[in-house]
């Protein structure tokens, strides 16, 4: 029997199944066309603790940035820009020609890290 769930009825693990299905399908499409689909990340550590980094995936010659984060105490030191630069470099090595990044910052124009890959 088919059942539809909405809103609070949906558990986190059910949401993860949908996300994983989308990623699996996208990777299969990309790889069928000769693309190198896969996860991509970099992490910056200090005294054995993660203080920032970036994660995402590459598909269809594009870098999709999922998360870019720096611990509040380490912000303003250029670590976010460096994390993005490092995964962009890896993405270019995989044949990516552009990137997609979404932000929660309503004033994203002031972010120097929002740019086009070349």
For residue 116, tell me if it sits in a domain. no
DSSP-derived 3-state class of residue 23: helix
Domain of residue 50, CATH code: 3.40.630.30
* Overall residue count recorded for the chain in this entry: 118
pLDDT in tens, the chain (118 residues): 999 999 999 999 999 999 889 888 888 887 787 776 789 999 999 999 999 999 998 888 899 999 999 999 999 999 999 999 999 999 999 889 999 988 777 665 555 444 544 4
Residues 6+ apart with CB under 8 A from 106: none
**0.85 exceeded by pTM:** no
For residue 4, tell me if it sits in a domain. no
What's residue 111's pLDDT?
Answer: 54
Q: In which order are the strands placed within the sheet that holds 98-101? A: 38-46, 49-59, 62-70, 98-101
Count of the separate structural domains present in the chain: 1
| Residue 25 structural domain | 11-110
């Amino acid at each position: 029997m088919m059942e539809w769930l909405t809103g609070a009825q949906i558990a986190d693990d059910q949401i993860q199944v949908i996300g994983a299905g989308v990623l699996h399908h996208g990777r299969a499409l990309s790889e069928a066309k000769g693309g190198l689909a896969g996860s991509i990340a970099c992490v910056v550590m200090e005294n054995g603790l993660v203080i920032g980094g970036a994660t995402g995936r590459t598909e269809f010659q594009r870098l999709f940035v999922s998360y870019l984060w720096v611990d509040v105490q380490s912000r303003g030191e250029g670590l976010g820009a460096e994390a993005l630069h490092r995964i962009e470099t890896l993405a270019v090595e995989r044949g990516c020609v552009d990137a997609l990044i979404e932000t929660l910052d309503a004033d994203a124009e002031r972010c120097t890290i929002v740019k086009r890959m070349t």
